[in-house]
Amino acid sequence: TTSLVWFRRDLRAFDHAALHHALRQSQAVHCVFVYDSAILDSLPRRDRRVDFIHASLAELASELHQLGGDLIVLHDDAATAIPRLAAELKADAVFANHDYEPQAIARDAMVADALTAHARLWFSFKDQVIFEKDEVLTLSGKPYTVYTPYKNAWLKKMRADPSCLAPYDIEPHAARLAPPRGKPAALPALEELGFEPSNLAELAIPTGMSGGARLFEDFLPRVEKYDVARDFPALKGPSYLSLHLRFGTVSLRYLVRTIIDLMERGGGGGGAPVWLAELIWRDFYAMILVQNPQVEHAAFKPAYDAIAWETGALADEAFAAWCAGRTGYPLVDAAMAQLNQTGYMHNRLRMVTACFLIKDLGIDWRRGEAYFALHLNDFDLASNNGGWQWASSSGCDAQPYFRIFNPITQSEKFDASGRFIRRYLPQLKALADKEIHAPWLVPRMLLDQKNIVLGRDYPAPIVQHDEARKETLARYEVVKVVK
């Protein structure tokens, strides 16, 4: 039999469920990636994620060539291109890994229907999470809606059956990879796809399987301090692997296995279990999205859809200031600059900026979610939605609505010396550590001495936090009534 493996968010040639199963079950295995016009058409013409995919595909293709295979790369509407290619290759079956986003599920169902209409088979496998959909359930057989008991059940299940972490070997049957049909075609250049290079290369963001491996190697010696270091955006605390987890250039099973092995050998300090817990959050949100696809557009707790958000010209202006990092709150603005310049934002700052938009500016969380979706390199519908619903208090396991981050206190606590702020807001460099968190509180004379003029060099605050807090508590009253 002949098979076709369709790569999507799993751009690696090792420990790959669909590739492993295709190789075991077929005599000849073709590989394809489709730059899906249904997704690409809506993106800005400079997009770091397209650059990342482009660079990562080059490595994937080269790896597959070394194994004796090939990577066919198309730029087309994937829903129709895959059945067409399967017919052209006379493939009996198409293999892919599960995707949990509603649009991807609909697309895959269309592909599966088109294949079966011509007596071809569709197989898909769990790959991007450890446990999916309904694998971790409460004692009464229901999906969890609260994280901590989910995490405990997840850990119990993983320990009871460590085979869930076993790698999916490729090598034993690699000889079944179909060689290139003719001379291997050059991969389409970015320009051919209608894109211009972003600043990804300038930022030196590592791409592909080798980039993911390098980041993990770099992180492992730091993991024991992760529990403390992860909260301070000026430190190299987290792993920076989210982009690689998003596109599958690393194997989640390998990451989890390595951390568990480390912990079992008594290593990893206080950080390893905390980092593992973050990977479990990722599984949790993927499960929440599959079980509750309505969260893509609506509050997880329906009562929260009754909240009246700020709209109109003033709200639009405030939203634009938030997007551009011109709110006058340095930590918020530095965080937005990090996002706009690099496509990454530190987790603590994602929480701070999201809370600020929702609870200081009174703006619908969905507007912020959409902005993050456009700009985050690691954008993932499930985790992004989970994060935003957490911040708006409308999600599962969300922070209570009356707990409102104070952007100044957050700044004093997590960037006490202003190192992170100075990195992204050099115009505030001259301010003392204590002054940098709220420049409008600095006496005018001092600002003059440092040649800083609010409104010229840096905005005055667009909102007063104490007043905004009161308004938010009133805005959220409706939740109590509706309940």
Instruction: Pick out the residues of the known binding site.
Output: 226, 275, 278-285, 378-380
Looking at the Cβ atoms of 26 and 411, the one nearer to ligand FAD is 411
**Binding positions for ligand FAD, rule: CB under 6 A:** 230, 238-242, 245-246, 278-279, 281-282, 285, 347, 350-351, 354, 372, 376, 378-380, 383-384, 386-388, 391
* Active site (catalytic) residues: 278, 281, 309, 347, 365, 388
Cβ atoms 471, 315 nearer than 8 A:
no
Helix, strand, coil share of the chain (percent; to 5): 55, 10, 40
Which helix (H) or strand (E) segment holds residue 3: the answer is strand 2-7
DSSP, res 52: H
Looking at the Cβ atoms of 282 and 475, the one nearer to ligand FAD is 282
Q: How far is Cα of residue 386 from the mean position of the Cα atoms in its chain?
A: 11
Residue 75 token pair: 């730029």
Q: Report the distance separating Cα 179 and Cα 28, nearest Å.
A: 9
List the strands of the sheet with 72-76, edge to edge.
Answer: 72-76, 28-36, 2-7, 93-97, 121-125
DSSP letters along 185-232, please? PPPPPTGGGT-B--STTTTT---HHHHHHHHHHHHGGGGGGHHHHTT-
Looking at the Cβ atoms of 14 and 344, the one nearer to ligand FAD is 344
Q: Does the CA dihedral 33-39-43-49 come out positive or negative?
A: negative
Q: Report the distance separating Cα 89 and Cα 83, nearest Å.
A: 10
Minimum Å distance from CB 127 to ligand FAD? 15
Looking at the Cβ atoms of 380 and 435, the one nearer to ligand FAD is 380
Helix or strand or coil: residue 181?
A: coil
Within 8 A by CB and 6+ apart from 436, the residues are: 330, 411, 418, 421, 422, 428
Cβ atoms 131, 157 nearer than 8 A:
yes
Task: Please state the residue numbers annotated as binding site for FAD.
Answer: 226, 275, 278-285, 378-380
Looking at the Cβ atoms of 11 and 111, the one nearer to ligand FAD is 11
Residue number with the shortest CB distance to ligand FAD? 387
Minimum Å distance from CB 98 to ligand FAD? 17
Q: Which residue has the tokens 């791409």?
A: 207
Looking at the Cβ atoms of 120 and 151, the one nearer to ligand FAD is 151
Q: Report the distance separating Cα 332 and Cα 319, nearest Å.
A: 13
